[in-house]
């Protein structure tokens, strides 16, 4: 079945460090790919998306490129801030396009 694998957290970085959170997935066909962010005690916010191969999604300094050949959608940011501390979920659109698949998420701590 469809699934997603993210690097395990927590990831702890100092402010202004470079961030990479790896994500690979298995899915039927070529689903849209999403990154969501969950701040403490809140719901999920859509961070960025890509709908087809080689698309790059970007928002708030975060980027991810849809790599069909490696079935990956790694999240990157050049310079993290303390306010980026949250849990990040890589989420392929699942069966039928609406059963979004979520992994356990990667918790990020950014130290000042």
Would you tell me which residues interact with other proteins (CB under 8 A)? 31-32, 34, 36, 42-46, 49, 89, 93-94, 96-100, 102-105
| Spatial separation of the C-alpha atoms in residues 75 and 60, rounded to whole Å | 12
Per-residue buried b or exposed e for 18-47, using 16+ beta carbons within 10 Å of the residue's own CB: ebebebbbebeeebbbbbbbbeeeeebeeb
What are 54's two structure tokens?
């080689």
The residue among 44 and 64 lying less far from other proteins, judged by its C-beta, is 44
Instruction: Give the nearer residue to other proteins in terms of CB position, either 17 or 55.
Output: 55
18 strand-pairing partners: none
CB of 41 to other proteins, least distance (A): 8
Question: Based on CB atoms, which residue is closest to other proteins, 43 or 112?
Answer: 43
To the nearest whole angstrom, how small is the minimum distance from the Cβ of residue 108 to other proteins? 15
């Amino acid at each position: 079945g469809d699934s997603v694998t993210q690097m395990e957290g927590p990831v702890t970085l100092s402010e202004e460090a470079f961030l990479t959170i790896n994500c690979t997935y298995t899915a039927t066909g070529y689903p849209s790919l999403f990154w969501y962010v969950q701040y403490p005690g809140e719901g999920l916010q859509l961070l960025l998306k890509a709908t087809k191969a080689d698309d790059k999604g970007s928002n708030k300094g975060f980027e991810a490129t849809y790599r069909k050949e490696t079935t990956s959608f790694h999240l990157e940011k050049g310079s993290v801030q303390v306010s980026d501390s949250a849990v990040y979920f890589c989420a392929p659109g699942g069966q039928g396009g609406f059963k979004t698949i979520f992994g356990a998420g990667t918790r990020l701590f950014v130290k000042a």
